[in-house]
Structures are given as C-alpha cells and as structure tokens.
Amino acid sequence: MSLIAVVDYGMGNLRSVSKALEHVAMADQKVIVTSDPADIAAADHIVFPGQGAARDCMLELRQRRLIEPVLKAAREKPFFGICMGLQVLLAHSQENKGIECMGLYDGEVRFFGNAFAEQGINQKEAMLKIPHMGWNRVHQTQAHPLWQGIAQDSRFYFVHSYYVSPVDQGLAAGETEFGIKFVSAIARDNVFAAQFHPEKSAADGLQLLENFTRWNGSQN
C-alpha cells in the first residue's frame, strides 16, 4: 500500500484536501492526515497545505518539530505545497514586518499592496481588492507532468494577500495576473507547489491532484 501524507500543523483546510485526494487516489494508495514525523518519513507522497499567516505557520511547524521532516521530504519525495505550503518554502516573508521561513528556495513572499505602490498602481481605480480572492487564470510557464490534461490558462481558485517572488525565475511553473504578473506555481525536481487551492478548483484542480498521486517525482 502506497501512502500519501497530508501534513497537519494546525493550519489549512485539511479535510477538503484529504477528501479531494481520496477521490482521485489509486486503489493501492492510502491518504492520511498526520503531524507525526515518522508518518511523513514513511510516506511515498507528501502534501503540504496551509492558509493564514506565515508567522503562525512557522510557529506551529517549530512547536510540532516538523520543519526538518518537511524539508527532508521536499528534498527526497514527490511533494505538493498548497497556498501557505508554497509560501513558507521560500526564505523570507514580508508579513508581520518580516518572517524567516523554511528557506528551501531563495526568495521573498511579497505583499500585493507594496508591489502595487512600487508600480504606481492605484488599487481603487484598478479595482484591485486585497486579498486576491476568487477564480483566476494560470498560465503554464514550463511543461510538467502535473499539468497533463489541464488546458493552458485554465482557472483556479485563489485566496491570498501575498505572493512568492523566487530569486531563480526558472522555478516558475505558472503565472497569474492580478494588477501585476506573479508566480502562482513553482516546480523543481520532485517539488510542485501552487498558490491556488486545487481542492477548491473543480475539475482542473482534481486533475492536478490526480496527476500528483501518479507522479514519481521526475519531470520527464
């Protein structure tokens, strides 16, 4: 029996994520929600969801001693980060005057309002309400097994006020427009992570999760 572990650190829509995975998993795959490092180490696929604030996320991860198990999984196994599970993979977040994150990738998590100000964008005139919430298009910027069966510029569901800005733009697997163009998905080796919520994104979201359950961690 193959094991898909959904990491539970007290934040995120775990029931929706686990139910969506159960819906698309193969017969020989079992989905568990766990905060046990031993389960994460034993699992074949790792899903790292989350929502809320980076400060709270990092605090919970530290208190539950999950940072190293999650980073180890991200270096070794098929790994899917969702929303906050994408953001804290970077080194730093602008939230709460600056939060150090997990640092798997160099880069910063930036506030949309700061980006709009830098670009001289008037939020009110442009009708850009933060958080960015609702359906939006994702433009696939690199070929990847997880995009299989998903049309270019398909819509996914977003809820966020911050976005990732990786130093290495080659990490980008998808981009989205919200006043500015921002990275909405990243991929590198065995890691795929998305700002949007596939578990809330209807058929295309389920297709993405189904592709993940069948993925061996290779981009070939």
What positions carry a catalytic annotation? 83, 197, 199
Strand partners, 162: 111
